[in-house]
Amino acid sequence: MTVLIVGSIGLDTIETPFGKKKDILGGSAIHASISASFHAKTAMIGVAGSDFPKEHFDFLKSKNIDVSGIQILPGETFRWSGYYEYDMNQAHTKDTKLNVISLFDPRVPDKLKDAEYVFLANLDPKLQLKVLDQLTKPKLVAMDTMNFWIETKREALEKVIKRADIVLMNDGEVRQFMETPNIPVAAAKLLKLGVKTVIIKKGEHGALLFSDGVHFSAPAYPQDILRDPTGAGDSFAGGFIGYLAKTGDISQANIRRAIIIGSTMASFNVEDFSLDRMKSLRPEEISARVEEFRRFTEF
Ligand code: AMP
């Protein structure tokens, strides 16, 4: 089953205690799609500027990702710059330049309109809605967002949330969005908006699932190599939805397994800057880490 992912395609400038890198490959759709592509056939919708290096397209194609929904517009690619301190759960944004994203009118190619597994990665919620409007029979729609859109496009964001089956947010975002410091209360408020499942990502503290009367808590991988947490949330989501699409099973039990797959993919992505670790990642390494997860969560 194909996974359709829409989100940002970006060039990030990132500073962590382990170094500073300028204009490296990033963006929510990029991190999510590369991660999903390890599990299922993946197609991407997004926009890049004329300055977007060809080698990055070659990387997407090497992962067999369908790039027919990517537009190249004259102008500069989206740029995000941020830094992390020793508490790497918290990204600090220095600057966001939407550039060609502000001109983007997403068009889903005809052959992808019947996609069943859809991930609306972090992007202007008005654009997330435009993509949703073009789909004919989505079976599972998951979405993500961030403080930038919570602060600037709240109304549109609520519309996306009401149409999503699964909302993924990090702990800081859900607290901000639901205006409460209490995560279970924030999750309950989101469920009241009509969402079936809420997944809250807590960085090095794992992920929590809330659904009608159901709660599940997954630990994070005990990360001994952590150089750049950028894209952890997106690679989590990509692995999560990729696994659901591959198995075609959206039962509660399988959603729990998908959370472990998502956590595994995120744990690899943060081992190096940008998507560098994903470039060398092998399927056997993924299975071995999932097995480790199984061992340390069993009691
Ligand atoms: P995360 O998985 O939350 O760490 O997401 C990281 C990616 O989100 C980075 O590679 C950025 O390019 C991208 N990003 C940052 N701000 C925004 C935004 N306002 N809209 C869309 N994508 C963004």
Taking only the tens place, the pLDDT of each residue in 252-299 is 999 999 999 999 999 999 999 999 999 999 999 999 999 999 999 888
Residue 81, C-beta contacts closer than 8 angstroms, at least 6 positions apart: 12, 13, 14, 93, 94, 95
Q: Is 148 in the pocket of ligand 1 (CB under 6 A)?
A: yes
3-class SS at 285?
A: helix
Confidence check: pLDDT of 204 > 90: no
Q: What is the tens place of the pLDDT at every residue in 24-47? A: 999 999 999 999 999 999 999 999
**Tokens (6 digits) for 157:** 């964001």
Q: Whose Cα sits closest to atom 15 in ligand 1?
A: 80
Q: Which of 9, 16, 34, 80 to mutate to test the pocket of ligand 1 (most atoms within 8 A of CB)?
A: 80
Q: Which of 76, 104, 122, 169 to mutate to test the pocket of ligand 1 (most atoms within 8 A of CB)?
A: 122
Residue 280, C-beta contacts closer than 8 angstroms, at least 6 positions apart: none
Amino acid at 181: P
Q: Tell me 111's DSSP state.
A: G
Average pLDDT, the chain: 96
Q: Is 82 in the pocket of ligand 1 (CB under 6 A)?
A: no
Buried b (16+ CB within 10 A) or exposed e, 247-269: beebeeeebebbbbbbbbbbbbb
- Give the model's confidence band at 1: pLDDT under 50 very low, under 70 low, under 90 confident, else very high: confident
Domains in the chain: ranges and CATH:
3-297 (3.40.1190.20)
Alpha carbon of 234 to ligand 1 centroid (Å): 8
Looking from the CA of residue 79, the nearest atom of ligand 1 is 12
Q: Note the pLDDT of residue 211.
A: 95
Alpha carbon of 11 to ligand 1 centroid (Å): 10
Alpha carbon of 286 to ligand 1 centroid (Å): 24
Confidence check: pLDDT of 90 > 90: no
Q: Is 232 in the pocket of ligand 1 (CB under 6 A)?
A: yes
Alpha carbon of 151 to ligand 1 centroid (Å): 15
Q: What is the tens place of the pLDDT at every residue in 118-177? A: 999 999 999 999 999 999 999 999 999 999 999 999 999 999 999 999 999 999 999 999
Q: Note the pLDDT of residue 298.
A: 87
How much is the average pLDDT of 4-29?
A: 97
Alpha carbon of 212 to ligand 1 centroid (Å): 29
Alpha carbon of 28 to ligand 1 centroid (Å): 5
Confidence check: pLDDT of 88 > 90: no
Q: Note the pLDDT of residue 174.
A: 94
Confidence check: pLDDT of 60 > 90: yes
